Amino acid sequence: MPDQALTVYIVDDDPSIRDSLALLLGLAGYRASLFADAESFLTAWRPEWQGCVIADLRLPGLTGADLQEELARRGSTLGVVIISAHGDVATARRAFRAEAVDFLEKPFEQAELLRAIEQGCARDAERRIQQAAAPAVPGRLGSLTEREREVLVHVARGLHAKEIARSLGISPRTVEVHKARLMAKLEARNVSELVRLAVQSGLDAG
């Protein structure tokens, strides 16, 4: 059962589509909030909203793709699923480039939509975790020793332990010790997170 704090925001100018989707989502355990156009949704939108957006591609005024791009510009964490009866490769590509969760052509299977919504809500949760952690990153980076920062820069560039060791004139074992300390200090679960933190902080360009 989905978290009751999660809401699926349905943006579609067809009242019958809005109502049928709201019914489906209610049965699946989601709350639904309905909008007839992108403009009314954007007027109501708040940064603290959690969940997922289902937006029809063709809307009066701003399109679903326009809505998706405006939400990204505003820094929204909401996952976006684009639906359309008039899909084509170009519009689908535009949606995915703007990081749409999915692009579904009508008529679609209910299971397919629910799967996309679940992914959208999961993406929203992940983005919120990243945003919450972001302010703490500079402080954590400040706790690193000069050698640890050097190792982090090399890790972010995709170098392996032996390559880092050769570059810094230390042993591969010492590199692994530094990586373990980096993960502990930066609260990274794996090397991929170390890389992401380094890139976000601009260290990979150092």
What's domain 143-205's architecture?
A: Orthogonal Bundle (1.10)
More confident residue, 38 or 87: 38
Residue extent(s) of CATH 1.10.10.10 domains in the chain: 143-205
**Least confident interval from 32-36, 60-64, 93-97, 174-178:** 93-97
Q: What is the mean pLDDT of the chain?
A: 85
Please state the three-class secondary structure of 68-132 as a single string.
Answer: HHHHHHHCCCCEEEEEECCCCHHHHHHHHHCCCCEEEECCCCHHHHHHHHHHHHHHHHHHHHHHH
Which residue has 């692994």 as its token pair? 176
Instruction: Indicate if the pLDDT at residue 28 is higher than 60.
Output: yes
Record: fold of 7-134: Rossmann fold (3.40.50)
Report the predicted TM-score, pTM, of the whole model to 2 decimal places.
0.62
Within the chain, which residue ranges are assigned CATH 3.40.50.2300?
A: 7-134
